[in-house]
């Protein structure tokens, strides 16, 4: 590169192919969703048996699920970094093995602490290594159909929850909860098969953001439409950093000018070479770190607001599925009918994900607006849950909850891609999950604490509903920030157009005067 041209190189994903093999990636992601979050949602059947076996509190038993959920979130950035360092395929295969080992060891647990470490921590760690790289690959393989692809992939969570909930109840009745965990451990070995399906996408290229538009050699038309504004902003930030660095160097040179005049020219040249080498090493280190973990995301205000939405949403996402079966049992509903409530919820969850994912793909409204509406509805439905007491009423609640939950989950990853750009989705997904881990960890225990204090499982649903409505407020803030960004972008484009129109007129006027 010419020394007069200042820039930086960054590896970004080329335009997503939307090709034939993308559907195999979708199949892999479908199964990963089912064998991770689908299993967590169906774990409410185990909750009742473990609660009875160890004669513990609702809070104590709920820590198993909350530790698994929190571990998935906390380890997500590690999974992203490992995928960049090695490969998505190897990380997912390793995660599948860890999942299986954790659940199998949990079958031999002698107390709740051992269940926390095995079914909670080890299983959650393995789920993070499988879920994060697979979802990232799905985002790279799809562009035009990305909302529908995310919705279809997440439908695996619904279908496997629908199938696994009665299956777990049958296995528990036949082999006890320990035998059922052994069979579940064998089932989760299929995560390794999902990893084998992840063929690397070899369509990355070097992009150079130059200071001068004539010399940068970068056509934003080559980038996906979602990323063009992000790439322009990245170039402007790189230019500003380069100018600031030049200013600092200039000031240091001015301060040491008198001293430098009395120094040997050879010493000055050696110092210049050493300074250049240090700059090169720092630039290489920064590039290497950004390749694995894009820590600059924490300076993105819109990303941080969306992450706060994730924290409060996680407080309410996981508690209802865990406590729905115990709540039904406390109302006198028999075992298989209680388990059927989860299946009803999963069936409507599936419909909600596919249908509202298709609606999102039509782009009738902004994605953030659609997500805000569904989150508000989800919180309202949970607040109404304690009014249900009979099986028919609980079935209606389960159907409404599953439908709105599916509509919410179908697009929240797509919204994240719009906030940061698909080229940063891997790191963004890892950081988003890490920040959201607080809500995933504390949600079920806080709900369990309310249940223990009030001796009523309905209070857990009230807590979840309030948390989701609070999370929707952050989405409203994000929508306002998006409008400001779009307004400022439009203003800058108009000013640039005016300048371009005025310059030919000025040239013509000068020629006339001549």
Report the CATH number that the domain containing residue 100 is assigned in CATH: 1.20.1250.20
Q: How far is residue 510's CA from residue 514's CA, in Å, rounded to a whole number?
A: 6
Q: Is 155 among the domain residues? A: yes
Q: Is 3 among the domain residues? A: no
Lowest mean pLDDT across 74-83, 203-212, 376-385: 203-212
Q: Is 273 among the domain residues? A: no
Query: Confidence band (pLDDT; 50, 70, 90) for 129?
Result: very high
> Which tokens belong to 138?
């799905």
Each residue's pLDDT tens digit, 42-52? 887 888 788 88
Each residue's pLDDT tens digit, 192-241? 999 998 888 764 444 444 333 333 333 333 334 444 444 445 554 555 55
Q: Is 355 among the domain residues? A: yes
Report helix, strand or coil for 391.
helix
- Cβ-proximal residues to 137 (8 Å cutoff; 6+ apart), any chain: 25, 28, 29, 88, 198, 201
Q: Is 268 among the domain residues? A: no
Of 43, 126, 47, 13, nearest to 342 (Cα)?
A: 43
Contact 311, 421 (CB under 8 A): no
Of 24, 23, 139, 42, nearest to 430 (Cα)?
A: 139
Q: How far is residue 256's CA from residue 275's CA, in Å, rounded to a whole number?
A: 15
Q: Is 137 among the domain residues? A: yes
Q: Looking at the DSSP assignment, which residues form a beta bridge with residue 10? A: 207
What's residue 200's pLDDT? 80
| Structural domain boundaries, residue 320 | 13-201+296-487
Q: Is 373 among the domain residues? A: yes
Average pLDDT, rounded, for the chain: 76
Q: Is 462 among the domain residues? A: yes
> Which tokens belong to 196?
């084998």
Buried/exposed code over 394-406 (b: 16+ C-beta within 10 A; e: otherwise) = bbebbbbbbbbbb
Q: Looking at the DSSP assignment, which residues form a beta bridge with residue 205? A: 12
Confidence (pTM): 0.61
pLDDT over threshold 60, residue 266: no
What's residue 237's pLDDT? 54
Contact 298, 427 (CB under 8 A): no
Residue with the two structure tokens 């609606």: 359
Each residue's pLDDT tens digit, 309-361? 988 988 888 777 778 888 888 888 888 888 888 888 888 888 888 888 788 87
Q: For the chain, how many structural domains are there in total?
A: 1
- Give the distance between the most distant pair of CA atoms in the chain: 99
């Amino acid at each position: 590169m010419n020394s007069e041209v200042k820039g930086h190189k960054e590896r970004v994903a080329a335009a997503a192919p939307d090709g034939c093999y993308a559907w195999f990636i979708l199949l892999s992601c479908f199964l990963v969703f089912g064998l991770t979050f689908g299993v967590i949602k169906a774990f409410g059947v185990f909750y009742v048996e473990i609660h009875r076996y160890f004669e513990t509190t609702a809070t104590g038993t709920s820590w198993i699920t909350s530790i698994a959920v929190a571990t998935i979130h906390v380890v997500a950035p590690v999974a992203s970094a490992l995928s960049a360092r090695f490969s998505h395929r190897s990380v997912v295969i390793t995660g599948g093995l860890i999942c299986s080992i954790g659940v199998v060891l949990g079958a031999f647990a002698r107390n709740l602490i051992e269940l926390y470490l095995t079914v909670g921590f080890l299983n959650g760690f393995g789920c993070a290594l499988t879920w994060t790289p697979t979802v990232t690959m799905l985002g790279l393989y799809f562009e035009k159909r990305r909302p529908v692809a995310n919705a279809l992939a997440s439908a695996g969570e619904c279908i496997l929850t629908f199938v696994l909930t009665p299956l777990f109840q049958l296995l528990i009745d036949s082999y006890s909860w320990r035998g059922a965990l052994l069979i579940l451990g064998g089932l989760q070995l299929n995560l390794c098969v999902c990893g084998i399906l992840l063929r690397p996408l070899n369509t990355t290229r070097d992009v150079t953001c130059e200071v001068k538009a004539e010399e940068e050699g970068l056509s934003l038309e080559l980038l996906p439409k979602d990323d063009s504004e992000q790439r322009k902003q990245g170039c402007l930030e790189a230019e500003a950093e380069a100018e600031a660095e030049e200013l600092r160097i200039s000031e240091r040179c001015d301060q040491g000018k008198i001293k430098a005049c009395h120094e040997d020219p050879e010493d000055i040249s050696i110092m210049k070479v050493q300074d250049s080498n240090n700059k090169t090493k720092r630039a290489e280190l920064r590039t290497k770190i950004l390749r694995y973990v894009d820590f600059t995301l924490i300076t993105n205000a819109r990303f941080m607001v969306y992450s706060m939405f994730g924290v409060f949403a996680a407080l309410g996402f996981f508690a209802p599925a865990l406590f729905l079966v115990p709540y039904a049992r406390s109302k006198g509903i028999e075992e298989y009918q209680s388990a059927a409530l989860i299946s009803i919820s999963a069936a409507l969850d599936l419909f909600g994900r596919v249908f509202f994912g298709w609606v999102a793909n039509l782009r009738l409204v902004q994605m953030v607006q659609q997500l805000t509406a569904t989150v508000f509805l989800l919180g309202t439905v949970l607040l109404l849950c304690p009014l249900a007491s009979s099986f028919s009423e609980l079935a209606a609640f389960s159907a409404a909850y599953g439908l709105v939950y599916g509509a919410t989950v179908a697009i929240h990853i797509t919204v994240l891609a719009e906030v940061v750009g698909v080229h940063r989705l891997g790191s963004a997904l890892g950081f988003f999950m890490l920040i959201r881990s607080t809500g995933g960890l504390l949600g079920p225990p806080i709900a369990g604490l309310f249940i223990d204090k009030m001796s009523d499982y309905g209070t857990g649903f009230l807590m979840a509903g309030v948390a989701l409505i609070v999370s929707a407020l952050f989405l409203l803030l994000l929508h306002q920030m998006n409008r400001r960004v779009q307004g400022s972008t439009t203003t800058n484009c108009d000013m640039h157009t005016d300048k371009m129109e005025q310059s030919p007129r000025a040239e013509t006027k000068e020629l006339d005067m001549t």
